[in-house]
């Protein structure tokens, strides 16, 4: 018989989308999660599980919150070292910081070092799954997947393809983008917990020929994700219209080349036209909300409530290093603040859902991760709801458990991460 592990405390239970049904996400007190062979095998009152599994090793968390590991739907691991770099707008920031740093990833040793450092930073912050861009260098993709494999993490990634409007040492070609992506896809997709994502950076840095080549690859491998950027800044949208004068809008630059579909993940999606919203809803595409990035680079305020009302799949993302934090707690706080500026006060249950089940749905991993339920992979984060003096004194005055959780969302950081479990194995974090 394999070893059983029992986690007890408050448990976050997810039964649906809290934007549609407020009761779909609940917190069960004095509950337990039983883990065996890397999966969740039972849930229920803590005393019942103790009786059913008397030989299980228990980790008693008292008033802490046991929840799914965070799922980051859109990030750039090569930007780890340049996070929080002062900049102006998107294009200036890319040219000043991003492209010079990404050029260093032609060195496989450097890519390996950063990939490991990045994933450890995620685990320190309770994030157990991420979808990341890489660079044009195939070795940067290998480094990321190898680092994730060493940590048993479920991840998605792909070679970032660019064949124009980028430095010479960061450009490939339409054919090379197809060939490299195909080879990496065949090497990594479905190996362990790795999933490949076909990755054109965004329309300005890919010619129509490259977009079509990657669209053809996606058509050949529809089981894969496709990730890119959409409508992040007003100036960017104007540039796209100049580069693609025949396109109806930004989304059409992808659609016309076979890069719009249900397994598409579109980062930012701030300044959408009504037609774009209609098409995204119609095809079932996923959007990644990147609130710290959108405020840091001055991009705008995503209409989370409006898009959720259209039943468009939404997830939350750090967008590091455009985003200013590796923490999904800080990212949820920024999402709350942006929604407030748009006239909506998101509830803690909606914020937690965006950072877990919502992102898992966007990445088509909802059958595997993103919720505490029987059969799911045991990727778990335990939140200490009194991790600092400031949070502890606020939590002591909380009206209910959700009030306490909200305080940690708004003021918490890596100190709030009490434990992290990946594939049923405890990581280095916390108590």
* Domains in the chain: boundaries: 4-69+371-426, 70-362
pLDDT of residue 91: 67
Tokens of 135: 């660079």
pLDDT of residue 299: 92
d(CA 386, CA 402): 13
Q: Which residues of 269-294 are buried (b: 16+ CB within 10 A; e: fewer)?
A: bbbbeeebbebbeeeebbbbbbbbbb
Beta bridge partners of 420: 381
pLDDT of residue 430: 45
Reported as a single tens digit per residue, the pLDDT across 88-123 is 666 677 778 888 889 999 999 999 999 999 999 999
CA angle 386, 388, 391 (to 5 degrees): 60
Report, as ranges of residue numbers, the positions in the chain whose pLDDT lies below 70.
Answer: 1, 87-91, 428-431
Q: Is the Cα torsion angle 12, 123, 407, 82 positive or negative in sign?
A: negative
Tell me yes or no: is domain 70-362 CATH 3.40.30.10: no
CB 233 within 8 A of CB 297: yes
pLDDT of residue 82: 80
d(CA 143, CA 16): 35
pLDDT of residue 77: 97
Superfamily of domain 4-69+371-426: Urease, subunit C, domain 1 (2.30.40.10)
- 12: exposed, middle or buried (Cβ count in 10 Å: 0-12, 13-18, 19+): buried
Whether the model pTM is above 0.85 = yes
CB atoms within 10 A of CB 368: 18
Whether cis (ω within 30° of 0) applies to the bond prior to 321 is: yes
3-state secondary structure the chain: CCCEEEEEEEEEEECCCCCCCHHHEEEEEEEEEEEECCEEEEEEEHHHHHHHCCCCEEEEEEEEEEEECEEEEEEEHHHHHHCCCCCCCHHHHHHHHHHHHHHHHHCHHHHHHHHHHHHHHHHHCCEEEEEEECCCCHHHHHHHHHHHHHCCCEEEEECEECCCCCCHHHCCCHHHHHHHHHHHHHHHCCCCCEEEEEEECCHHHCCHHHHHHHHHHHHHCCCCEEEEEECCCHHHHHHHHHHCCCCCCHHHHHHCCCCCCCCEEEEECCCCCHHHHHHHHHHCCEEEECHHHHHHCCCCCCCHHHHHHCCCEEEECCCCCCCCCCCHHHHHHHHHHHHHHCCCCCCHHHHHHHHHHHHHHHCCCCCCCCCCCCCCECCEEEECCCCCHHHHHHHHCCCCHHHHHHHHHHHCCHHHEEEEEECCEECCCCC
Q: Which of 185, 257, 163 is nearest to 216 (CA)?
A: 257
pLDDT of residue 198: 98
């Amino acid at each position: 018989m394999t070893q059983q592990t029992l986690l007890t405390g408050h448990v976050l239970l997810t039964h649906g989308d809290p934007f549609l049904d407020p009761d779909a996400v609940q917190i069960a007190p004095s509950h337990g999660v039983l883990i065996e062979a890397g999966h969740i095998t039972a849930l229920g009152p803590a005393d019942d599980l103790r009786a059913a599994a008397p030989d299980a090793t228990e980790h008693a968390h008292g008033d802490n919150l046991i929840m799914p590991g965070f799922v980051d739907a859109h990030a750039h691991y090569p930007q780890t070292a340049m996070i929080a770099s002062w900049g102006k707008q998107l294009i200036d920031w890319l040219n000043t910081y991003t492209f010079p740093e990404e050029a260093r990833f032609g060195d496989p040793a450097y890519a390996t070092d950063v990939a490991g450092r990045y994933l450890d930073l995620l685990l320190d912050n309770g994030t157990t799954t991420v979808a990341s861009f890489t660079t044009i260098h195939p070795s940067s993709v290998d480094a990321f997947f190898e680092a994730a494999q060493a940590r048993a993490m479920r991840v998605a990634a792909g070679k970032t393809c660019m064949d124009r409007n980028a430095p010479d040492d960061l450009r490939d070609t339409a054919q090379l983008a197809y060939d490299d992506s195909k080879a990496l896809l065949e090497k990594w997709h479905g190996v362990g917990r790795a999933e490949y994502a076909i990755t054109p950076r965004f329309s300005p840095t890919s010619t129509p020929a490259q977009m079509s080549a990657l669209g053809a690859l996606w058509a050949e491998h529809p089981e894969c994700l496709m990730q890119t950027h959409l409508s992040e800044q007003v100036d960017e949208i104007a540039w796209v219209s100049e580069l693609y004068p025949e396109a109806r809008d930004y989304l059409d630059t992808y659609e016309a080349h076979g890069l719009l579909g249900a397994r598409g993940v579109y980062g930012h999606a701030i300044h959408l036209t009504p037609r774009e919203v209609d098409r995204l809803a119609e095809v079932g595409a996923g959007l990644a909300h990147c609130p710290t990035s959108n405020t840091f680079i001055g991009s705008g305020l995503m209409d989370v409530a409006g898009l959720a009302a259209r039943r468009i799949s939404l997830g939350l993302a750090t967008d590091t290093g455009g985003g200013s934090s590796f923490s999904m707690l800080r990212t949820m706080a920024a999402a709350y603040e942006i929604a407030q500026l748009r006239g909506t006060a998101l509830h803690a249950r909606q914020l937690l859902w965006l950072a877990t089940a919502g992102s898992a749905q966007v990445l088509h991993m909802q059958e595997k991760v993103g919720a505490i339920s029987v059969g799911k992979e045991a990727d778990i984060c335990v939140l200490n709801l009194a991790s600092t003096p400031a949070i502890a004194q606020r939590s002591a005055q909380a009206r209910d458990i959700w009030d306490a959780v909200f305080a940690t969302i708004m003021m918490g950081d890596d100190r709030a991460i009490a434990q992290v479990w990946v594939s049923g194995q405890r990581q280095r974090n916390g108590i």
